[in-house]
Structure formats: structure tokens, C-alpha cells
Amino acid sequence: MSDDLPEEFDLIVVGTGFTESCIAAAASRIGKTVLHIDANEYYGDAWSSFNLEAFNCLLEQPNFTLRNGSYIWHGPESKEENEEMEIVSWTRETLLEKSRRFSLDLSPRVAYSDGELVKLLIKSNICRYAEFRAVDHVCILSNDELVSVPCSRSDVFNTKMLTMVEKRMLMKFLTACNDYKEEDELSFRGRTFLEYLQAQRVTDKIGTCVMQAIAMCDANTSFEVGMQRTNRFLGSLGRYGNTPFLFPMYGSGELPQCFCRLCAVFGGVYCLKRSLDGITQAEQSNELLVSSAGKTLRAKQVVCAPAQLPASLARHYGELKPHISRGLFIAASPLGNEELNKGGGGVILLRLLAEEGAREACLLQLAHYSGTCPEGLYIFHLTTPAISEDPSADLAAFTAQLFQANAPQILYSAYFTLTAQTIPKTSTAMPICCTAAPTYELDYDAAIANARDIFDKLYGEAEEFLPRAPDPEEIVVEGEDPSALREHSLPEDLRAQLQQMDIAE
């Protein structure tokens, strides 16, 4: 393949993770020429999804982004070994046969239906490249059992977990939060959300629902932040599904690719398997000379994912430290009772606490309708901020809670650490912008804020960040008769007439 890559760009983006892809799309969208490269042969970097085989390979070969990887098969190796069992069950062989039906996320996320990601996708029209599934249940653990937190009026009415008095209490509390305005409740300024909750004299059960699932707070969360989070939850209800959350079909790794496609549609050039080897400032100009795959490219600006920095630069960004500890489990049965998993549902979100609330983890259960695993299987994603180089030890306190009572039939388990650099605040010596590695968050708020910041830094706040992209029908190619492209909006009979005229011509 001849390498007829152009040599000059306005912007070179290195790494195709979520944040970098956002920036690439935004720059391309305002007419900048963009080259987007990635050292890997896949899109997404630390935000990618993999099939089972590729995922295992990744765990075996640590890289800058991922380390401490390990996996274990729990089921039998093949059918022969399993003859005496009557129920047809999954074996290592059958799982690997269906390897491509898996889409295993490194950084699984959900999106609030009215959150930053959804708003950005709609505003930019990138939503046309993505499909979602509603998260079926937001749960809490109550006496070692998964219980669905009531999200809608009918949920509250139907739930068996609350008494009549509690139902009224919960509705009253949530209505008060929904009606809350900044000037209200001055007395709780500077105090914690927990104190506010306690002052409302709610029962323990309701307290747990609110703290763990709705406001997602800990004992130290301030009143204001708790209120904000509660309202983010409430504001995202009733939009798409039964819970406020959406999960991208085929996994979170799809999202960076949606942004990349927009970038490409607006002229961005894509090259996977191409790394940034070095970078220098050009003499007598502000341009940067970027060496990549034996070529020197010129760019006005460079944005780079920290894990894809060349070694010569990486040292300026500090050491790679464990950032997030991840566990990934494939099981033949879901967590929770049948009620939680009926009708092909089974996408469940659960926030777990340990050490008296000092540590937390997020569990995401995915079923086959999310497009991430074969029918009959379930994936559990566990994520917690790393406290050591041992992801399985970091998660032990949470797996113990999950898999103790009513343990699901786990066939495969994997652990790994996602790293991040300790970027010093003064890295201005470097002529390039570095994005942040994925942080511990439910939605994409921090990543989007990071992308927007860098975009503003590059192009100034006057340029809009990802304005609406026109629909294909609205694009008129130079040299074409624009009226022809408007055929779509014509009624059937006129369109036919126009076509007749075309033929006559």
C-alpha cells in the first residue's frame, strides 16, 4: 500500500481514546485539517472493547495503558471433560468459539439520559452513529440481595421493598429535591447531604436507596453536590427507559469510533498502527515536526494521549501509576433474581461500598441484548479506583459482597489495572497538549470537559465545540446542482417528475 499521506496538518491527534476522538472530531468539524493516528491496530486505546480472544492477548501483554492483567477459566475445558453433566453448559472451547460475539470494555460507562454525553451526541448529530440500550435496573445490595431501586412513579407504587409509609416518604423526599432551588434550605449550606437526608427522618432503607443509588454520595459529600446529583438522576428519568441510564450497544468502545467517523466525514485522515516517534519544534516557525513511521509531518498543533507519548517526552509527565482496578467476569447466570433479569433485560447498575463507605466500586451487569456477549451469558464489569498494583485484591471487598450469597455461575474471570500518569501541573515546556487518562466516573462528564478544555485552548472559546453536523441530505457537493439534493424533501409525485426530467435531459 503506497503511503500517500499528506505531510501538513493543522492538528495531529495521537491516540483514538474517547477524549482524543472528541477533540479530533471538533477540530475537523470547524474546518481544520486533522491527522488522527494510533499506535494500536484498533480504535479506542484505554476506552476500547475487545472480543474474548483479543482481550486475553491484551491481558497477557502488558502495555502503557494496561498492566497486572490475568485471567482464569472456571468452567470445564471442553464438552468431553464435562460428559457426566446433563445440562448443556459453557466450556472454555464454546466460549472461545463465540469469541467475536463478545465486546469486552476496558472502560465501561453508562450515560445519564440527560447528561453531558447524550447532550453532546444530540447537539453534534453524532447520535446518528450510535445506538443505546436503557439500563434496566439501578440496584442496591440489601441483606446480600440485589434490590431494584424504584425509579418511576409506578416503580415506587409496585415495589415490594418499601412499606406504604416509606413509599410516601420517598416520593415526598424526591419531590422536594426536584423542586429545590438554590435559595432554599440555606440551613444546610456547608453541611453534608447525609445530614440533610437524616433531617428528613427517612427510614434506613430509603436512606440507602438515596445515598447509594440516586445521589451516589458518601458520608462526606456536601449538601449542594448531593442535591445536584439527585437532580441529575431525576432529570434523566422518563426519557428513554425505565432508569435514568443508557448503555451504548456493543459496548463503550463504540463511542470513540462515532466521533472518529464524524472527523473522517469532515476530512480527517485516519491511520491506525502508526505511532508518534518524536516531536520537535521547527526552526523559524511555530510548527511542530512530528516523526512517525519514518516520515516527518508538519503540524500546527499536536494532541496526545498520555500512554502514546514517545519515551523521550513521557518522562516529563511523571510516572505511570495504577489508576483504576478492573474486574471482568463472564457468567452463565445473572446476578439477582428472575424479576431483575426478565424479558431479555438484565443490564444492571449497582454501586458498592466497602470499608464503611470509604471505598466504592461500580458494577455493571450486561446481558446479550446489549450486544456485548452471546445469548445466555452475562458480563459483570467491576471498577474501582486503584489503591495497589493488585487489581484482584483491590476488588476483593466488593466481589465478596457480590458473589457470596446466590453466587452466579462464573465461567471466566479477569483482572487488570489501568494506569495514568502523574502529570505535573507545569508541563508547559512541552509543545503538545496531553489528554487525561480515563478517570473513575459513571458517565463521560470529566472526559468531555477535558476535551472541551483542550479544544478551547487550541482554538479559543469563540469556536463552537462540535456544532450540529448537517444530515447527509443537507450536504451539497461543489459542482452539483443543489436542487437535485433536495429531492428528498419533495413529495413522491414531484420527485418522480423530476426524475423523468432527468432522464429526458
Torsion of CA 468, 442, 246, 52, to 10 degrees: 110
Tell me the one-letter amino acid at 303: V
* Least distance (Å) between residue 25 CB and other proteins: 12
**Judged by CB, which is closer to other proteins: 344, or 467?**
344
Nearest C-alpha neighbor of 89 from the set 101, 99, 79, 74 = 79
**Judged by CB, which is closer to other proteins: 99, or 427?**
99
152 is a site residue for other proteins (CB under 8 A): yes
* Least distance (Å) between residue 490 CB and other proteins: 12
Q: For the window 159-178, what string marks contact with other proteins as x by the rule CB under 8 A?
A: -----------xx--xx--x
478 is a site residue for other proteins (CB under 8 A): yes
β-sheet bridge partners, residue 37: 14, 271
The overall longest dimension of the chain from CA atoms, in Å, is 80
Q: Which three cell numbers stand for residue 340?
A: 431483575
Residue whose C-alpha cell is 463465540: 98
Applying CB under 8 A, among 237, 299, 305, 454 the residue interacting with other proteins is 237
220: Cα separation from own chain's centroid: 26
CB-based contact 51:99 (threshold 8 Å): yes
Tell me which residues in 4-63 interact with other proteins (CB under 8 A).
Answer: 5, 42-43
Say how far apart CA 408 and CA 9 lie, in whole Å.
52
269 is a site residue for other proteins (CB under 8 A): yes
**Judged by CB, which is closer to other proteins: 73, or 129?**
129
**Judged by CB, which is closer to other proteins: 429, or 501?**
501
Q: Is 414 left (phi over 0), alpha (psi -120 to 50) or beta?
A: beta
* Least distance (Å) between residue 332 CB and other proteins: 19
Say how far apart CA 329 and CA 325 lie, in whole Å.
14
| Pairing assessment for the beta strands 348-354 and 410-421 based on DSSP bridges | unpaired
Tell me which residues in 376-435 interact with other proteins (CB under 8 A).
Answer: none
Tell me the one-letter amino acid at 99: S
**Judged by CB, which is closer to other proteins: 30, or 156?**
156
Q: Which three cell numbers stand for residue 465?
A: 465545540
* Least distance (Å) between residue 292 CB and other proteins: 12
Applying CB under 8 A, among 71, 73, 369, 440 the residue interacting with other proteins is 369
218 is a site residue for other proteins (CB under 8 A): no
Tell me the one-letter amino acid at 290: V
* Least distance (Å) between residue 358 CB and other proteins: 30
* Least distance (Å) between residue 418 CB and other proteins: 21
Applying CB under 8 A, among 484, 490, 494, 496 the residue interacting with other proteins is 484
Q: Which three cell numbers stand for residue 406?
A: 446466590
Which H helix or E strand runs over 463? none
* Least distance (Å) between residue 266 CB and other proteins: 7
Distance (Å) of CA 209 to CA 34, 129, 212, 372? 46, 35, 6, 28
494 is a site residue for other proteins (CB under 8 A): no
Total chain residues near other proteins (CB under 8 A): 71
Which stretch, 66-74, 85-93, 455-463, 468-476, contacts other proteins (CB under 8 A)?
468-476
Per DSSP (E only), the strands in 5-105 are 8-14, 34-37, 49-50, 66-73, 104-105
β-sheet bridge partners, residue 419: 322
Which stretch, 88-96, 271-279, 282-290, 378-386, contacts other proteins (CB under 8 A)?
271-279
Applying CB under 8 A, among 71, 129, 180, 440 the residue interacting with other proteins is 129
Which stretch, 184-192, 236-244, 327-335, 419-427, contacts other proteins (CB under 8 A)?
236-244
* Least distance (Å) between residue 3 CB and other proteins: 8
Nearest C-alpha neighbor of 443 from the set 292, 303, 236 = 236
Tell me which residues in 68-107 interact with other proteins (CB under 8 A).
Answer: 100-101
* Least distance (Å) between residue 195 CB and other proteins: 22
DSSP character at residue 212: I
- Other Cβ atoms closer than 10 A to 253: 25
339 is a site residue for other proteins (CB under 8 A): no
Which stretch, 398-406, 430-438, 455-463, 477-485, contacts other proteins (CB under 8 A)?
477-485
Nearest C-alpha neighbor of 46 from the set 220, 274, 255 = 255
Which stretch, 86-94, 187-195, 306-314, 473-481, contacts other proteins (CB under 8 A)?
473-481
